[in-house]
Structure 1
């Protein structure tokens, strides 16, 4: 009878440790990354495709503006159409569409 109780206690300890080990894990999400920046105040320096898209949208909504690249940007989706005067300062960085995405 005593061996059965020790086995049960050991089983509960192992299950408890397993629950503690897996309690902090987050599920893996597959798909496109969520947009990080949701607005842009011009003039602005951008370092991601999402920021560039947001700043073009902000410039279109206003009277244009200046956008400066702060890093090389690789697009995985088309940028918004430019409908106002925008100054894009490259600062020796590039925007790459990977031969599959229209840049402008």
Structure 2
């Protein structure tokens, strides 16, 4: 099992995630929890959104969410997720259903 020890670079860790993500039947996304921007997205997600890794990692979190997600739903679940991360309580969970606009089309 590969675990982050603080000594590896972020790029090395992303390579590990990418290798596993290629085998999964879904989209894998790594966010920066500092500003919620995208740090990395699996190829499956990039193809679905019709966007390059360079483009998705260069846009703001606000643009990413308004372009690809239902904004009304985001108003509900984003504060819940942020609160979960801030509290850092292993006994707490948050569930949500996220509607994604493929290719940013309405």
- Pairwise same-fold verdict (TM > 0.5): no
Higher helix share: 2
Higher strand share: 1
Q: TM-score, structure 1 length as denominator? A: 0.25
Structure having the higher Rg: 1
